[in-house]
Amino acid sequence: MYLEYLDLPKLPENLIENVYETIKTSKKYTSQGNTDAENYEHFSSINASNELKKFTQSIFDFEHLTHIFFLTDDLPMHIDNLDVRSKAYNYVIESGGGNTNIYNQEAELIESYDIDLHRWHILDVSQNHSVSIPNPPRILVTVTPKKG
């Protein structure tokens, strides 16, 4: 199984509003790591606000980075930068109406998920995966465990 739901608290409404405000007022790409994602015009990775970081620190018992992903079109098949992470802890605020798809090494679809909104999950991003977004945007909070 490549996706597992987690029994963690929902984001409070004030933090969801904070996510939207952060998207409006922040640079498009503020994540770090060896990746060409910053060159994909439909993808933004934005540093979370201090308030959102404080919340994720209260529910995750490991050191981590917290970002907001804002996608305005399908995200093609890819593997996340494994130097940065192999698992993503995500909280989808808006889905964009699409699925997250997992592929094998031969690029054949092996699983597809219609991920629940407002529910934390862990996703294996060391596998080929894509995201379909027929009704943009897709907005999520993503937590990455610090390596080392």
Give the pLDDT confidence of 115-140 residue by residue, as tens digits: 999 999 999 999 999 999 999 999 99
Question: What pLDDT shows up at residue 1?
Answer: 82
pLDDT band at residue 111, thresholds of 50, 70 and 90?
Answer: very high
Distances (CA, A) of 27 to 9, 39, 68, 70: 28, 14, 11, 11
Question: What would the pLDDT profile of 35-82 be if each residue is shown by its tens digit?
Answer: 555 566 788 889 999 999 999 999 999 999 999 999 999 988 988 888
Q: Is the pLDDT of residue 25 over 70?
A: yes
Radius of gyration of the chain (CA): 14
Instruction: State whether residue 68 is helix, strand or coil.
Output: strand
Complete domains list, the chain, with CATH: 3-145 (2.60.120.330)
Alpha helices in 2-49 (DSSP H): 13-25
Sign of the dihedral defined by the CA atoms of residues 135, 140, 12, 25, in that order: negative
Question: What pLDDT shows up at residue 32?
Answer: 53
Question: What pLDDT shows up at residue 83?
Answer: 85
Stretch 105-114: mean pLDDT:
96
Tell me the two tokens of residue 94: 């808006």
Q: What is the pTM of this model?
A: 0.92
Which residues contact residue 62 at a Cβ distance below 8 angstroms, ignoring those fewer than 6 apart? 145, 146
pLDDT band at residue 29, thresholds of 50, 70 and 90?
Answer: low
- Name the amino acid, one letter, at 124: D
Tell me the two tokens of residue 84: 């940065």
Question: What pLDDT shows up at residue 35?
Answer: 55
Stretch 21-45: mean pLDDT:
73
Percent above pLDDT 70 for the chain: 91
Give the integer Cα–Cα distance in Å for 69 and 47. 9
Average pLDDT, the chain: 91
